[in-house]
Chain A
Amino acid sequence: MADPSNASDISHVIQLAVAPVFLLSSIGTILAVLTTRLGRVIDRVRVLGDRLETAPEEKRRGIIDEERLLLRRRGIINWAFIGCTVAALLVCVLIAVAFVGYLLDVHLEVVMATLFILAMASFVAGLLLFLREVLLAASSVHIEAR
């Protein structure tokens, strides 16, 4: 990111931006997966909510247990959403910083590296929550299989 009169500089920055841009696209893919899962969880909660109104007393317990588990999954997915979205935000800021550095002719490598690390940490947090949600969903099979 030096002298703007040098034609190859902006191309250098643009080439560097390929990695964060790909990262954005991966985060978007994970967000799409989370959206699908969240949608299914909520649909199921609504089905159970309707069923609860007509269910006989002895079945209520099972329905409420399942509902509680689903709401826990929903909470975890929402936090995973926040982790992934914050990661995407940080990556966008990172890309903007790269071009600001080019325009102002300043070296912002340390800021960029820090943003990359923070973005990855946030994405990792989101993925860990996702993993937790997947494990929780997997362990809940026996509830429905009766």
Chain B
Amino acid sequence: MADPSQAPGITHVIQLAVTPVFLLLSIGNILAVLTARLGRVVDRVRVLADRLEKAPEEKHAAITQEARLLLRRRSIINWAFTGCTVSALLVCLLIAVAFVGYLVGVHLDELLAALFIVAMGSFVAGLLLFLREVRVAASSVHIEVK
């Protein structure tokens, strides 16, 4: 991100942008996994809602309990989505900052490092929520077995 008069400067910035761009790809992968899980949770909630209408009274409690667990998973996944998406936003901002620094001819190294750290913090938060959701889903086994 140095002197704009220097021709190879932009090449250097573009090369540096490879890392955050790949980071975006990884975040996208995790978002795809979250989407798949959320889709299944929501589909299941709808099936349960239909089933609740026709179910005999004694089965209502079990269905409601499963639905409640699914709704909890849904909200955890939504928070995980938020964490990962914020992280992706920060990475985009970071890439923009790198090029702004190049154009304006300012050293924004500390800002870039800070953005990287905050983006990772947000991604970590998203992954922790994902982990929690996996645990909640795993603990629901006994409900369906019987």
Contacts and interface: CB of A to CB of B under 8 A. Distances in A.
Interface string B118-130: 0011011001101
Nearest to A93: B124
A95 B116 contact: yes
B110 A4 contact: yes
Contacts of B124: 89, 92-93, 96
B114 interface: yes
Given A14-B19, A35-B36, A39-B36, A71 B138 contact: no
Q: Which of B1, B107, B123, B130 has the most CB of A within 10 A?
A: B123
B22 A85 contact: no
B19 A9 contact: no
A62 interface: no
Nearest to B138: A78
Interface in B67-125: 107, 109-110, 112-114, 116-117, 120-121, 123-124
**Which applies to chain B's interface (DSSP): helix, strand, loop or mixed?**
helix
**Which applies to chain A's interface (DSSP): helix, strand, loop or mixed?**
helix
A4 B18 contact: no
A10 interface: yes
B141 A17 contact: no
Contacts, number: 116
Contacts of B110: 4, 103
A97 to B, nearest CB: 9
B141 A31 contact: no
Given A18-B22, A92-B120, A28 B113 contact: no
Contact of A81 (B1, B25, B134): B134
Nearest to A42: B40
A88 B2 CA distance: 33
Contact of A14 (B16, B128, B141): B16
B55 interface: no
B96 to A, nearest CB: 15
Nearest to A18: B19
A36 B20 CA distance: 27
A96 B30 contact: no
A108 B3 CA distance: 30
A25 B31 CA distance: 12
Contacts of B20: 14
Interface of B: 1-2, 12, 15-16, 18-20, 22-23, 25-26, 28-30, 32-33, 36-37, 40, 107, 109-110, 112-114, 116-117, 120-121, 123-124, 127-128, 130-131, 134-135, 137-138, 141, 144-145
Given A32-B33, A82-B131, A92-B123, 6 more contacts: A4-B110, A7-B1, A25-B25, A102-B109, A103-B110, A103-B117
